């Protein structure tokens, strides 16, 4: 069983102070937690799973002012309804069990009802801070899934405490590619028609809570052209779409910052490389010929979580036997989809099946 205690220095409520958080629970019943290698016996696994603390996490969080006076406290419980293992408070199927409409856990401090604060990841990789200085009103936009039938990546349905299946090591969110033509191009600008015949591409990606390890981290998908179902042609590099968590002061872990449609040269990243020195903003496509449309089009609070989506639409180049810039994707073409995730100037990649 895990016991962890941590302190965080914050500025909130009545002044500067500290947050003290202590949690307890059993994250998994597969390997010995002393070395994370030795497999438990059948008897030990059965006994572990029968323990009421298995998959139930109790977290007590206290805010203490600099003079030693506590400002508020909470006691929260987490459990995972979708998995036999547990990684963090934001894994798929994780639910928060609390008492949001009473004062049982809040000592009468009504402004903090229904919020979670600090939680240490079950895999021991770090801590997560939530809702220390912002509201919780859900967004009313960007809740429509993509209409494309070309499934690029599929989001995990569960997470574990074993690498590489931990929630902070899964790079894939669900995404798809929609290809549409323009019947009448007369309304398009000359800048667009000089470049494109009106054939558009749209990538839509699930926005799930991610743990990138730094402020302003991102998750996305990269597409690489295949000359056949098994042969990759990376001459034109990759087209990638990434959604970034907002890194502005006061932003929370579910706040969307920006989307980036990128032209990634093969000299920067080429499959099957699993990492690259790449920041989305440095490789972002610009120019009127693409007529790029992002949604959300600006920073949006509380959408980087399950049930919300980000998309990008752009005009593709006219059909040609070869391309000097980004490639064109069309009917009967093959492409390889690669998941990406990163923070700072580092991106990490994982392959999926070719589409």
Domain locations in the chain? 2-129, 150-354
347: which strand partners?
A: 276, 342
Question: Is residue 50 within 8 Å of residue 42, measured between CB atoms?
Answer: no
HSE-up of residue 140 (Cα within 13 Å, Cβ side): 0
Cβ-based neighbours of 171, under 8 Å, separated by 6 or more: 219, 339, 340, 341, 348, 349, 350
Q: Which residue has the tokens 């899934």?
A: 145
| Predicted TM-score of the model (pTM) | 0.69
| Tens digits of pLDDT across the chain (355 residues) | 555 555 555 544 445 677 777 777 777 788 887 777 888 899 998 888 777 667 666 777 777 777 777 666 666 666 555 555 444 454 555 555 554 444 444 444 455 555 555 555 544 445 555 544 434 567 889 999 999 889 998 877 766 655 666 655 677 788 999 999 999 999 999 999 999 999 999 999 998 877 676 678 899 999 999 888 888 888 899 999 999 999 888 777 778 999 999 999 999 998 888 899 999 999 999 999 999 999 999 999 888 877 899 999 999 999 998 888 899 999 889 888 999 988 888 888 876 644 4
Distance of CA 349 to the CA centre of its chain: 14
Q: In Å, how far are 55, 153, 171, 190, 341 from 221, measured between CA atoms?
A: 32, 8, 9, 30, 9
């Amino acid at each position: 069983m895990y016991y962890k205690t941590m302190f965080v220095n914050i500025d909130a409520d009545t002044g500067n102070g500290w947050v003290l958080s202590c949690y307890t629970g059993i994250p998994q019943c597969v390997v010995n937690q002393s070395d994370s290698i030795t497999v438990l016996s059948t008897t030990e696994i059965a006994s572990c799973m029968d323990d009421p603390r298995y998959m139930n996490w109790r977290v007590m969080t206290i805010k203490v002012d600099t003079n030693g006076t506590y400002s508020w406290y909470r006691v929260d419980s987490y459990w995972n309804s979708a998995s036999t293992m547990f990684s963090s408070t934001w894994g798929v199927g994780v639910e928060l069990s609390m008492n949001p409409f009473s004062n049982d856990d809040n000592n009468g401090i009504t402004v903090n009802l229904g919020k979670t604060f600090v939680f240490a990841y079950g895999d021991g990789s770090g801590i997560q801070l939530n809702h220390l200085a912002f509201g919780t009103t859900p967004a009313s936009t960007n809740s429509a899934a993509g209409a494309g039938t070309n499934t690029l990546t599929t989001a995990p349905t569960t997470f574990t405490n074993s690498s590489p299946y931990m929630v902070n090591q899964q790079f894939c969110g669900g995404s798809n590619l929609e290809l549409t033509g323009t019947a009448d191009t007369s309304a398009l600008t000359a800048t667009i028609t000089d470049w494109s015949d009106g054939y558009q591409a749209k990538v839509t990606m699930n926005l799930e809570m991610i743990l990138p390890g730094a402020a302003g981290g991102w998750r996305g998908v990269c597409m690489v052209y295949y000359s056949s179902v098994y042969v990759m042609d990376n001459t034109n590099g990759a087209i990638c779409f990434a959604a970034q968590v907002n890194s502005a002061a006061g932003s929370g872990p579910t706040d969307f910052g920006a989307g980036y449609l990128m032209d990634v040269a093969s000299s920067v990243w080429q499959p099957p490389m699993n990492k690259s020195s790449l920041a989305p903003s440095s490789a972002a496509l610009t120019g009127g010929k693409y007529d790029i449309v992002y949604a959300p089009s600006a920073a949006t609070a509380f959408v980087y979580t399950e049930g919300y989506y980000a998309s990008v639409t752009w005009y593709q180049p006219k059909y040609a036997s070869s391309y000097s810039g980004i490639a064109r994707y069309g009917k009967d073409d093959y492409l390889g989809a690669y998941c990406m995730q990163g923070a700072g100037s580092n991106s990490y990649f994982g392959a999926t099946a070719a589409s």
